[in-house]
């Protein structure tokens, strides 16, 4: 295909350019989400240990 100046160019396959742009745009957000999920998992594990410890204190001591 040629643009208005007669220069040849190849059009990207449908969606590939948009997908690449979307991936590039969301990379920082993806990293932030991964970090948040990791922190939530650590909090969850800590909370579960607290609950386990409370149950042990209530019933086994």
Q: Where are the domains of the chain?
A: 1-61
The pTM score is 0.43
- Please tell me the predicted confidence (pLDDT) of residue 10: 56
* CA distance linking residue 61 with residue 54, whole number of Å: 10
CB 2 within 8 A of CB 8: yes
pLDDT tens track, the chain, 61 positions: 455 556 555 555 665 555 555 555 567 788 888 888 888 899 999 999 998 898 888 888 6
- Please tell me the predicted confidence (pLDDT) of residue 4: 58
- Please tell me the predicted confidence (pLDDT) of residue 58: 86
């Amino acid at each position: 295909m040629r643009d208005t100046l007669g220069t040849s160019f190849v059009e990207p396959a449908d969606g590939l350019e948009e997908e690449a742009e979307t991936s590039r745009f969301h990379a920082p957000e993806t990293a932030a989400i991964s970090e948040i999920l990791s922190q939530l998992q650590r909090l969850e594990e800590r909370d579960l240990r607290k609950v386990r410890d409370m149950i042990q204190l209530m019933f086994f001591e």
